[in-house]
Amino acid sequence: MRIAVKEVVPAFVGQIDDFPFEAMDERVIGELRAAWTAYPILRFRNVAIGDREQIAFSHALGRPVLHPRQLQQGKNEEFPEILVISNKKKADGTAAGDLGDGEVNWHTDTWFVERPPSAAILRAIELPQEGGNTYFANMYAAYAALPASLKSRLVGLSIHHQTVIDGRGEVRLGMTRPASPNYADWPGVDHPILRRHAQSGKTGLYLGGSRKHQSIVGMAQDEASLLLDELWARATDSAHVWGQEWRPGDMMMWDNRCALHRRDPFDPGAIRLMHRTTVEGERPMAAW
């Protein structure tokens, strides 16, 4: 084996201490893929690479995805594949990156498109002294822990993920808020709640993001609301959650198809600077 994976959380989080970024041949990529199927969350330590190497690493796993905000804002002219996640400001006082210094609620990335990304890779460049931890919730484990009656109730059900309001509750660029109070009527995409993972074949809960604006296809809003509250509570139960406390040289890679993530806020006076790349995914497959 060319890469050694240490288990951090069984069947969920693995750690690779000295990944050979400079020698990514077919064998290394094959081992990486196998490690990633076994551990949807991978932590790389002692990472000393730049944007070019991060992009090459990301590309080895699949085609790059440019986040809608990345396309709109062109935050990184030299390497458009890099999404800057930071509270840093440019000289003119405008944001140099996304997500600011506040809490980021539970979500999967870009859940509101037909083919949400398979992976996101987040590399720490500058970290605050404290705060800004990132938490991951295991959606295979959350599914497995559901009572049998709930598992069968979810068969055939899809969430309607509206595309108008973003995860922060703001109207997305270029969109206008529809008149209907019913989110089911808003433009969006439907994804099955029980998702079969394209590589592992395992079933996980797929809840997307922005709970407040969700509806369930073909279900009355009141009933859907109760069910969604229950699913989100079960999905984010601390039994399925692990937290990453960032250290210099850390890079996280998460499987966006079978894990949710959230982030703690941090001191607005501190700087947190991360560079993210994103890998194309497939249309979520129903697990029934």
Residues that bind ligand OGA (CB under 6 A): 85, 99, 104, 109, 120, 122, 134, 261, 263, 274, 276
Contact yes or no for 205/194 (Cβ under 8 A): yes
Whole-angstrom CA distances from 162 to 31, 107, 166, 220, 221 are 37, 14, 9, 16, 14
Q: Does residue 9 sit in helix, strand or coil? A: strand
Residue of minimal Cβ distance to Mn ion: 109
- Token pair belonging to 273: 């600077």
**Residue 234 touches which member of ligand OGA, Mn ion, none, C-beta under 5-8 Å by kind:** none
Residue 85 touches which member of ligand OGA, Mn ion, none, C-beta under 5-8 Å by kind: ligand OGA
Nearest approach in angstroms of CB 261 to Mn ion is 6
Q: Which does 191 bind (CB under 5 to 8 A by kind): Mn ion, ligand OGA, none?
A: none
Q: Does 109 contact Mn ion by CB under 5 A?
A: yes
* Residue 28 near residue 20 (C-beta atoms within 8 A): yes
Residue 104 C-beta: closest distance to ligand OGA, Å: 5
Handedness of CA 61, 66, 69, 75 (dihedral sign): positive
Q: How far is CA 24 from CA 28, 56, 58, 59, 262, in A?
A: 6, 9, 11, 11, 30
Q: How far is the CB of 152 from ligand OGA (least distance, A)?
A: 32
Which is closer to ligand OGA, CB of 85 or CB of 279? Answer: 85
Find which of Mn ion, ligand OGA, none residue 81 binds, CB within 5 to 8 Å per kind: none
- Point out which residues bind Mn ion (CB under 5 A): 109
